[in-house]
Structure 1
Amino acid sequence: MTRHPTAPPSRPQPGPALDRRRVLALAGGGLAWAGGALAQQPEPSPPGDGERFDPARVVDLARALAKKPYAAPSNALPDPFGALSYEQYVAIRALPPALIWAGEGRGFVVEPLHRGFLFTNPVTLHVVEDGVVRRVAYDRGRFEFGKLKAPEEPRDLAFSGFRLYASFAGASPADCAIFQGASFFRALAAGQSYGVTARALTLRPAEAKGEEFPLFRAFWLERPAVGTGQIVIHALVDSESATAALHMTLRPGEATIVDVEATLCPRTPLEHVGIAGMTGAYLFGPTDHRNVDDARPAAHEIDGLQIRNGWGEALWRPVQNPETLQISAFLDQDPKGFGLVQRARAYGDYQDDVQRWERRPSLWVEPLGTWAPDVPQHGWGPGAVQLIEIPSESEVNENILAYWRPKEPIAKEAAFSYRQFWCWSVPGQPPLAVCSGTRVGRGASGRRRLFLVDFTGEAPFAEGLAPGSLRLSLHTGPGSLTRQQLYAYPERKTVRAVFELDPGGETACELRLTVKAADKPVSETWLYRWTP
């Protein structure tokens, strides 16, 4: 896996103009289509102008494309678009005539995004209106270019993706989602600003031979019916090792929900594939503020990985900015859900007047099912939630990656369905106290480390629990534990676990902590990997 490039130091706040941090984080491409036909792939053709739309044709297109050798799209652009700076790129704005469905009262408006800067590979856009496909043609007259002198000759440059505006609770359309760069996309709940990024497909992250980044090649957007509050998006993804067809239904709100049905068509057996992947930025926080000369108490858009595994256990793993690359696998069978979550929601947690980290969304995924020829399943079967933590020196680097990795390689067509919640808090929390704080500092002597772990919720203080019945279930491997204490604060509905880890000569220790009463958990399980 490679890190995203570092942005220049001065950046505007996220908003309708594409912010610099995400421009740099989401560089990627699309599919070169000429006159509605697949470049270098004469058969089959995609659903084109004037044709009746059938979602099955997008899946058929992915299948046919997977049987052919991979052909990378041409990213050539005429001057001056081929060598734009960030400032020049964000000065390119779509004019009102370029906005799709604006003024129609459908609850959604689509803004085609120009190519340039890091977004040089072409993506083809189509809309589906009354069941008929219409290709969105590029027209330079529908953009303003700031101080750039755009070429005079007419030329279809396609697009780099699109931004989606939605009417939250009937208000004027506001930022809701953006599909741009590789096969990345992001969404927002009402009142949020962009943060964590989803991936349509993840291939070979953190491997020595390099990560493979699939590309969006084309989109078909179904015109939403008035009053439905949802939009359906179809996408074709292409890569050296596989293709995919995506069917997405997006419903914005206090939590924006995206239902994803992904059909995966391997070109070669996929030994390391990630489903429902997501990335987020974590620079520092209460657990790893050492060696950080920063006036803020924290800088991150997510602070942990949350899992509900197939055995009904609720897990919380704080993420870190490690000294060296860290890879963790949480083995599971038919997971109930997982996601990169932002729990610290107060302005005072960050004291950042520009980034406003407390407004970034959590992304929670609930698997719905999977299918492969002759092997139908209701869940996702055996595998692991995989977490990758990459050392970073900049808050613009999306250095935390999480995804589902099936146990067995995928050698033939398979389909996965899941529901994304872009939310303030994870839905359907079990009745357990949740980890509300992790702090780590110097221990009593030597290499010992002192841990303070807080859990907040009603469960430890439930009626009928005898005073003093709470206890810690705490384990480490390797290393040893000392000074184990538990403090209860009923007025704050919080219990604090205090302990010291003595790693001895070890370079990594895996910690596991649960608060129990009558041998039953009253808190989620806290997991932590200590490294020097």
Structure 2
Amino acid sequence: MPTACRPVSGERPGRLIALLSAGLCLLAPWPIRANAVTDYPSLVEHARTLAQQAYEPRQVTLPPALQGLDYDAYRDIRFRPDQSIWRGQDLPIEAQFFHLGLYYDTPVQIHLLTADGVQTVDYTTNLFDYGSNPTPTDVDQHMGFAGFRLHYPLNRPDYKDELIIFHGASYFRSLGAGQWLGLSARGLAIDTGERSGEEFPVFTQFWIEWPRRDARQFRILALLESQSVTGAYEFLVTPGTTTTTEVRATLFRRGEFTKIGLAPLTSMFQYGEEVPRPPHDFRPEVHDSDGLLIHAGDEWLWRGLVNPARLTINAFQTDQLHGFGLMQRDRDFSSYQDLEAHYHQRPSAWITPQGDWGEGSVELVQIPTQNEVNDNIVAYWRPKAPWPADEPLEFRYRIAWQHAELAGPDAGRVIATRIARAAELDGLHRYVIDFAGPALSELPEDVELTPDLGFPPHFVVAEQIGFRNPETGGWRLVIRGKLKPESGQPAELRASLLTPERQRVTEIWTYTEPGN
């Protein structure tokens, strides 16, 4: 017999009991491993035990009606909103689920943490509208889901919007008020960009804490599994104009790998203002994020994203990381002209480490792409110190899903990078960088700023000049330069603006001029 879910701290479970009695959503205790997880410490012990066991990929046999679905057919399977967990309970959130199918083929078990213990949400076809697809028959109620999402009234009190989504591998993304879904975070990155191939850890089980009626923060526990690692994760989600996700993780090694990336972010960049738009597309720019921002030591660095000709990896080393993020700085609709994708409303994601992460580097991986469908940008923190096989790796951080009030320095920020390529191979390229912000607009009219450039010997700079940009209230820096023809190697460029007293009043623009 299924056991009715009872809420935390006296909330009434009426809607859930109604679902049970109607046979729409069986909630029964999951096997002992799931029931043993009641809080973060018990999840840590569960992950520790799993790390001593061989990795067994979780697989499920889909009913014939769900096999071989294409993209459109899978999208036609929709969760029935009236079957949402906590619907009609006067609680701040509701939970909905994603169906297995297409390339979402790893089953995810979802549990609820209640005052009376752990209850598992079982799969049933009654939770979904299959659209033009036939409804599966002879299904296993323990088949699981592809993921879930929480809904919360972000924009108006009478409608619950998507708040946070976990769907596929260890991917998750969140929204603040007025935002459209864009870039994603991941639980962990393993061997990203390596020739040996990337390993994708998977969140295989979730425990969602039953919400209180007055709750303004929501707790989710997750178990991560892969060939090389097991991990316990805790997510505290606080909705708002800027929604924040507090992440706590404890990892255990179970195998070998080349590198590990903490707090990874994944985004899409097809093209921006630095290159002409493709002739077949009317939109001036297409991207979920336009740059990587890093705060390390007393420096702020900006790296504009590119769609490279071949896979590139850049590492920004530091022993004092304050934060990093993939940002969507350009918020002007005219830069995108897309009434469907709303790229000007995609969130930025800013990572703030909790505690000292020590020495390491922020790595940026950029992969060539011909379209806007696939993510091709990854950024993460790579610790310098090796991870001992017999010790857990513990870390915490905060993700802020932001609007235009981006994390950044009080000094001038890079708002645009444009590059004019020389027609001849031995000609000079022109790099035009616009800085703007209150720190620049408030400078005295007669101040003169000096360009501060850094470049390797195999890059020749013929001219550098900085001057006011009256249209932005900021400053424009123009650099004319080129690689020495015989070098054939890429060149890392850095540029900022200084006052006559040698005080830096802008963040540092960085760019890699590709080699031959």
Aligned partners of 1:306, 1:414: CA distance in 2, in Å?
25
Instruction: Tell me whether 1:516 sits opposite 2:503 in the alignment.
Output: no
Question: Partner amino acid for 2:509?
Answer: W
2:3 aligned partner:
none
Q: Paired residue for 1:188, among 150, 166, 175?
A: 175
Conserved 8 A contact 1:269-1:410: no
Aligned partners of 2:311, 2:50: CA distance in 1, in Å?
35
Q: Would the alpha carbon gap of residues 491 and 84 (structure 1) be closer, same or farther in structure 2, given more than 3 Å must change?
A: closer
Q: Paired residue for 2:127, among 139, 142, 148?
A: 142
Q: Paired residue for 2:165, among 164, 167, 178?
A: 178
Q: Paired residue for 2:223, among 236, 244, 267?
A: 236
2:298 aligned partner:
312
Which has the larger displacement, 480-489 or 234-243? Answer: 480-489
Alignment of 1:241-390 (within 5 A): 241-289=228-276, 293-309=280-296, 311-369=297-355, 379-390=356-367
Q: Would the alpha carbon gap of residues 380 and 426 (structure 1) be closer, same or farther in structure 2, given more than 3 Å must change?
A: farther
Instruction: Tell me whether 1:394 sits opposite 2:381 in the alignment.
Output: no
Gaps of 5+ in 1: 1-33, 38-44, 370-378
Conserved 8 A contact 1:232-1:249: yes
Instruction: Tell me whether 1:455 sits opposite 2:435 in the alignment.
Output: yes
Gaps of 5+ in 2: 1-27
Q: Paired residue for 2:57, among 72, 75, 79?
A: 72
Conserved 8 A contact 2:277-2:283: no
- How far residue 72 of structure 1 moved from its aligned partner, in angstroms, is 0.8
Conserved 8 A contact 1:508-1:531: yes
1:213 aligned partner:
200
CA deviations on 1:155-211 (whole Å, 9 max, x unpaired) are 222111102211116341011121010111111111111110111010001111100
- How far residue 275 of structure 1 moved from its aligned partner, in angstroms, is 0.2
Give SS of 2:67's match: helix
- How far residue 35 of structure 1 moved from its aligned partner, in angstroms, is 7.1
- How far residue 274 of structure 1 moved from its aligned partner, in angstroms, is 0.3
Conserved 8 A contact 1:447-1:503: no
Calculate the TM-score normalised by the size of structure 2.
0.89
CA deviations on 1:362-384 (whole Å, 9 max, x unpaired) are 11100003xxxxxxxxx100000
Give SS of 1:167's match: strand
2:8 aligned partner:
none
Which has the larger displacement, 87-96 or 280-289? Answer: 87-96
- How far residue 96 of structure 1 moved from its aligned partner, in angstroms, is 4.2
2:148 aligned partner:
162
Conserved 8 A contact 1:513-1:527: yes
RMSD over equivalenced CA pairs, Å:
2.0
Aligned partners of 1:92, 1:293: CA distance in 2, in Å?
32
Aligned partners of 2:399, 2:491: CA distance in 1, in Å?
32
Give SS of 1:47's match: helix
Aligned partners of 1:427, 1:324: CA distance in 2, in Å?
30
Instruction: Tell me whether 1:36 sits opposite 2:30 in the alignment.
Output: yes
1:526 aligned partner:
509
- How far residue 288 of structure 1 moved from its aligned partner, in angstroms, is 2.6
Aligned partners of 2:323, 2:85: CA distance in 1, in Å?
35
Instruction: Tell me whether 1:132 sits opposite 2:132 in the alignment.
Output: no
Question: Partner amino acid for 1:469?
Answer: E
CA deviations on 1:89-132 (whole Å, 9 max, x unpaired) are 22222224531111222221100211112112110000112262
| Number of residues of Structure 1 aligned to a counterpart in Structure 2 | 479
- How far residue 290 of structure 1 moved from its aligned partner, in angstroms, is 6.8
Q: Identity percentage over the alignment?
A: 34
Instruction: Tell me whether 1:441 sits opposite 2:420 in the alignment.
Output: yes
Which has the larger displacement, 200-209 or 502-511? Answer: 502-511
Q: Would the alpha carbon gap of residues 447 and 410 (structure 1) be closer, same or farther in structure 2, given more than 3 Å must change?
A: farther
- How far residue 291 of structure 1 moved from its aligned partner, in angstroms, is 6.2
Question: Partner amino acid for 2:128?
Answer: F
Which has the larger displacement, 167-176 or 508-517? Answer: 167-176
CA deviations on 1:256-298 (whole Å, 9 max, x unpaired) are 1000001111113554000000111100111133766432111
1:470 aligned partner:
449
1:416 aligned partner:
395
Which has the larger displacement, 312-321 or 478-487? Answer: 478-487
2:74 aligned partner:
89
Question: Partner amino acid for 2:317?
Answer: L
Question: Partner amino acid for 2:300?
Answer: A
1:7 aligned partner:
none
Q: Would the alpha carbon gap of residues 96 and 468 (structure 1) be closer, same or farther in structure 2, given more than 3 Å must change?
A: closer
Q: Would the alpha carbon gap of residues 52 and 180 (structure 1) be closer, same or farther in structure 2, given more than 3 Å must change?
A: closer
CA deviations on 1:26-54 (whole Å, 9 max, x unpaired) are xxxxxxxx9723xxxxxxx4232xx7823
Conserved 8 A contact 1:271-1:409: no
Q: Paired residue for 1:197, among 176, 180, 184?
A: 184
Give SS of 1:141's match: helix
1:13 aligned partner:
none
Give SS of 1:512's match: strand
Give SS of 2:159's match: coil
2:477 aligned partner:
497
Q: Would the alpha carbon gap of residues 131 and 489 (structure 1) be closer, same or farther in structure 2, given more than 3 Å must change?
A: farther
Alignment of 1:476-487 (within 5 A): 476-477=455-456, 478-487=458-467
